Amino acid sequence: SFIKTDDVRHAPEPVQGIEGENDFSGKRYVWLKDPQAAFVKGWIVEELGDNHILVQCDDGSQREVNADSVDKVNPAKFDKADDMAELTHLNEASVVHNLHMRYQADLIYTYSGLFLVAINPYCPLPIYTNEYINMYRGQGREETKPHIYAMADEAFRNLVDEGENQSILVTGESGAGKTENTKKVIQYLAAVAHSESPVKSKSLQHSNLSQQILRANPILEAFGNAQTVRNNNSSRFGKFIRIEFTRTGSIAGAFIDWYLLEKSRVVRLNAHERNYHIFYQLLKGADRKMKQDFLIEGQDVEDFAYTRDGHDTITGVSDRDEWNSLIEAFEVMGFLEKEQVSILRTVAAVLHLGNITVMKESRGADQARLAPDARAHAERVCKLLGMPVEPFLQGLLHPRVKAGREWVEKVQTPEQVRLALDALAKGIYERSFGDLVTRINRQLDRAGMGMDDSHFIGVLDIAGFEIFEENSFEQLCINYTNEKLQQFFNHHMFVLEQEEYAREQIEWKFIDFGHDLQPTIDLIELPNPIGIFSCLDEDSVMPKATDKSFTEKLHSLWDRKTPKYRPSRLGQGFMLTHYAAEVEYSTEGWLEKNKDPLNDNVTRLLATSTDKHVASLFIDCADVEDESGATRSRVKKGLFRTVAQRHKEQLSSLMAQLHSTHPHFVRCIIPNHKKTTQTTQRPACARPATLQWCA
């Protein structure tokens, strides 16, 4: 499991046979596994011989079980222990029980050795106020109760005292609270760092900077978050936010790296989910003038193919209010109105792209043509994106490709045109997102950045390990990332253990468990012997390769060569053994996903758009002149990168940064899959703010 609960200082338990913990009444308590409740507590009535015991359970039942199947219950003094490493009996039942007891008392944070565990309360708790910030400021872990602020403070103190970069790695499944905790870390750092600012005249600038760092989030969330079945505000991208500090601990700047935006969401929705928040915010919140300019006046969510299929609204959320917060955040961030309009115009263009429908040419065999009302939508797209409509339609319906020395027109079926339109919508959206982050970074990049003696605290908020019924390329990328992070954690544990033993001068043969994960990582990322990503890259540029031939090639390379890999028994794909579980991946569509192709007839037009912003988004698609003066596309010049390549490089840069830091680990846990608090048991949400929570 990702949580390594057994702290190194934990003394090994003597083997005690079937004894449970005696309480004052002399009863021996044990945990029994239970199919419904996971674990039930009970006391041993009788030893039945043959290693069996009779247990009186707390639910009233009496059960006869094998003595080896039960776990010991901790003495009452360990109830609601702050750090699970303190438990005398460290077993799964005790850990779950401890977390549960604490959760019911609104103690959502618990230490587990190196980890801080956070359980989503699904309601606002009064534990993030300024009073709380002050309570944690400059305090050591021993002096306070577990809290995300305690971890943030520790990182901050390490940074200032040791001059060492720090990182806080927040993991957990969707809806568990990663993003909320990330925001709390930043809120805390902004608060404590600002007041540390030693130079008075600079403090105004710094307070602005803190404000701007805090406001980056609503912007990122509007464009990168969406409602899913798991989370009403699910981040559909990963991020690493680096806050840079001066030697004295005041904020000097910030920088955001992002990973793997789920762009398929732009064009396809599951029922009960939504597209990115920004589409709804724009449609509900923009004023008449803007809607006129964006050619969406009088139109709403159901008028657009890309927003029509999913949910319209999120219970308890006003898209109009969110829009207002977004615009406010843009202002605080220092985005000019012109800039805001440029950014939002591309969002409107994406909506219109979804409405261009195509059909079969009446007499022609497969050739696509526009549906009767589609021209109007195409004209809107072109107007908003600053390109002429005729070449756009020509490039879309009759793209010209080079065959040898000749240019020829390709026949396009309606399906191919639809795919090309969706790919464009995704491409424009993803590039806009990237551009948005770049702009935010530009605003947050203050004089302090790049200073030789500055240090950073980086906060990583990325999707945790995923296993779905069907797993594809996206899951492989996410699980590969998590595999690397787990390896990083294991290695860190190992280093600490080693230091501890060395300090105590204990002779010990060291085993670096980080290496355990290497075979799976190699299998994914090694170029030689050729790993999954490299093999995919090779086949992505091979004209005759298909998903099937790629899969067969993988089998021939890896089947029986490593215990971590085997071919799928049913269907086209493979099984990979990760640290967390074995996952079956289906390889349908991987070559396309990896190439992520865009219609280059159209992207070339976009690169020459009259709208500077749009042109800049596609600058890499512009024709460039080669040495002989002939124009060639950049793609052909080898600037093209596959998705796998890009991800591998980004991840390797992230890992290099993490290795330069002192890491801190937060593990978020989801308490239920209903997105709600357990109101019957927890009237706590109505409870007034109290400092006792932490006292």
Query: Least distance in Å: CB of 221 to Mg ion?
Result: 9
Q: Exactly one of 171, 234, 346, 432 is catalytic; which is it?
A: 234
Q: Exactly one of 112, 171, 217, 231 is catalytic; which is it?
A: 231
H/E element, 305: helix 305-308
Is 389 or 685 the residue whose CB approaches ligand ATP more closely?
A: 685
Query: Least distance in Å: CB of 684 to ligand ATP?
Result: 12
* CA gap 200, 193 in Å, rounded: 14
Catalytic status, residue 625:
no
H/E element, 28: strand 28-34
Q: Which residue has the tokens 């290496």?
A: 515
In a 3-state reduction of DSSP, which class is residue 420?
Answer: helix
Q: Exactly one of 42, 175, 310, 395 is catalytic; which is it?
A: 175
* CA gap 20, 30 in Å, rounded: 5
Cα 121 vs. chain centroid, distance in angstroms? Answer: 20
Is 94 or 235 the residue whose CB approaches Mg ion more closely?
A: 235
Catalytic status, residue 177:
no
Q: Exactly one of 173, 466, 474, 538 is catalytic; which is it?
A: 466
Is 190 or 260 the residue whose CB approaches ligand ATP more closely?
A: 260
Residues 575-634 that bind Mg ion (CB under 5 A): none
Catalytic status, residue 386:
no
When CB distances are held under 5 to 8 angstroms depending on the partner's kind, the choice from Mg ion, ligand ATP, none that residue 460 binds is: none
* CA gap 165, 657 in Å, rounded: 9
The answer to whether the CB of 342 falls within 8 A of the CB of 290 is no
The answer to whether the CB of 152 falls within 8 A of the CB of 184 is yes
When CB distances are held under 5 to 8 angstroms depending on the partner's kind, the choice from Mg ion, ligand ATP, none that residue 599 binds is: none
Is 166 or 179 the residue whose CB approaches ligand ATP more closely?
A: 179
When CB distances are held under 5 to 8 angstroms depending on the partner's kind, the choice from ligand ATP, Mg ion, none that residue 125 binds is: ligand ATP
Residues 413-442 that bind Mg ion (CB under 5 A): none
Extract the tokens encoding 593: 């996903």
Q: Exactly one of 120, 179, 181, 355 is catalytic; which is it?
A: 179
Query: Least distance in Å: CB of 343 to Mg ion?
Result: 22
Query: Least distance in Å: CB of 462 to Mg ion?
Result: 9
Query: Least distance in Å: CB of 333 to ligand ATP?
Result: 21
Query: Least distance in Å: CB of 480 to ligand ATP?
Result: 17
Show the beta-strand stretches assigned E in 262-322.
none
- At residue 571, φ and ψ (nearest 5 deg) are 75, 175
Q: Which residue blocks in 105-199 are alpha helix, DSSP H?
A: 130-136, 148-162, 178-196
When CB distances are held under 5 to 8 angstroms depending on the partner's kind, the choice from ligand ATP, Mg ion, none that residue 83 binds is: none
Q: Which residue has the tokens 């992207």?
A: 603
In a 3-state reduction of DSSP, which class is residue 72?
Answer: strand
When CB distances are held under 5 to 8 angstroms depending on the partner's kind, the choice from Mg ion, ligand ATP, none that residue 121 binds is: ligand ATP
In a 3-state reduction of DSSP, which class is residue 628?
Answer: coil
When CB distances are held under 5 to 8 angstroms depending on the partner's kind, the choice from Mg ion, ligand ATP, none that residue 633 binds is: none
The answer to whether the CB of 99 falls within 8 A of the CB of 668 is no
User: Is the bond preceding 529 in cis, omega lying within 30 degrees of 0?
Assistant: yes
User: Is the bond preceding 146 in cis, omega lying within 30 degrees of 0?
Assistant: no
Binding footprint of ligand ATP on the chain (CB under 6 A): 120-122, 124-125, 172, 174-180, 230-231, 233-235, 463, 668
* CA gap 223, 592 in Å, rounded: 25
Q: Exactly one of 88, 134, 174, 441 is catalytic; which is it?
A: 174
Strands 251-259 vs 238-245: parallel, antiparallel or unpaired: antiparallel
Query: Least distance in Å: CB of 449 to Mg ion?
Result: 26
Is 465 or 565 the residue whose CB approaches Mg ion more closely?
A: 465
When CB distances are held under 5 to 8 angstroms depending on the partner's kind, the choice from Mg ion, ligand ATP, none that residue 166 binds is: none
Is 178 or 194 the residue whose CB approaches Mg ion more closely?
A: 178
Is 181 or 197 the residue whose CB approaches Mg ion more closely?
A: 181
Catalytic status, residue 313:
no
Per CB under 5 A, the segment of 98-106, 174-182, 397-405, 408-416 that binds Mg ion is 174-182
> For the window 208-237, what string marks contact with Mg ion as x by the rule CB under 5 A?
---------------------------x--
182 counts as binding Mg ion under rule CB under 5 A: no
Q: Which residue has the tokens 């990049």?
A: 445
Catalytic status, residue 201:
no
The answer to whether the CB of 323 falls within 8 A of the CB of 281 is yes
CB crowding 505-522: b at 16 or more within 10 Å, else e: eeeeeeeebbeebeebbe
Is 124 or 629 the residue whose CB approaches ligand ATP more closely?
A: 124
Beta bridge partners of 44: 55
Residue from the set 5, 74, 179, 246 that interacts with Mg ion by CB under 5 A: 179
In a 3-state reduction of DSSP, which class is residue 448?
Answer: coil
Catalytic status, residue 163:
no
* CA gap 381, 266 in Å, rounded: 16
Query: Least distance in Å: CB of 231 to ligand ATP?
Result: 4
The answer to whether the CB of 82 falls within 8 A of the CB of 111 is yes
H/E element, 653: helix 643-659
Query: Least distance in Å: CB of 175 to ligand ATP?
Result: 5
Dihedral over alpha carbons 318, 323, 324, 326 (to 10 degrees): 130
When CB distances are held under 5 to 8 angstroms depending on the partner's kind, the choice from Mg ion, ligand ATP, none that residue 119 binds is: none
Query: Least distance in Å: CB of 135 to ligand ATP?
Result: 17
The answer to whether the CB of 244 falls within 8 A of the CB of 252 is yes
CA angle at 171 for the pair 168 and 175, rounded to the nearest 5°: 130
Is 235 or 490 the residue whose CB approaches Mg ion more closely?
A: 235
Query: Least distance in Å: CB of 550 to ligand ATP?
Result: 30
- At residue 169, φ and ψ (nearest 5 deg) are -105, 115
Q: Exactly one of 5, 74, 171, 235 is catalytic; which is it?
A: 235
Is 49 or 316 the residue whose CB approaches ligand ATP more closely?
A: 316
Q: Exactly one of 427, 448, 464, 531 is catalytic; which is it?
A: 464
Is 180 or 361 the residue whose CB approaches ligand ATP more closely?
A: 180
Is 377 or 664 the residue whose CB approaches ligand ATP more closely?
A: 664
Residues 232-291 that bind Mg ion (CB under 5 A): 235
Using CB atoms within 10 Å of the CB of residue 257, give its burial: 0 to 12 exposed, 13 to 18 middle, 19+ buried: middle
Beta bridge partners of 407: 402
Query: Least distance in Å: CB of 675 to ligand ATP?
Result: 7
* CA gap 141, 694 in Å, rounded: 12
Strands 166-171 vs 455-461: parallel, antiparallel or unpaired: parallel
When CB distances are held under 5 to 8 angstroms depending on the partner's kind, the choice from ligand ATP, Mg ion, none that residue 122 binds is: ligand ATP
Q: Which residue has the tokens 């090639």?
A: 553
When CB distances are held under 5 to 8 angstroms depending on the partner's kind, the choice from ligand ATP, Mg ion, none that residue 176 binds is: ligand ATP
Binding site for Mg ion (CB under 5 A): 178-179, 235
Which residues are part of the catalytic machinery? 174-175, 179, 231, 234-235, 464, 466
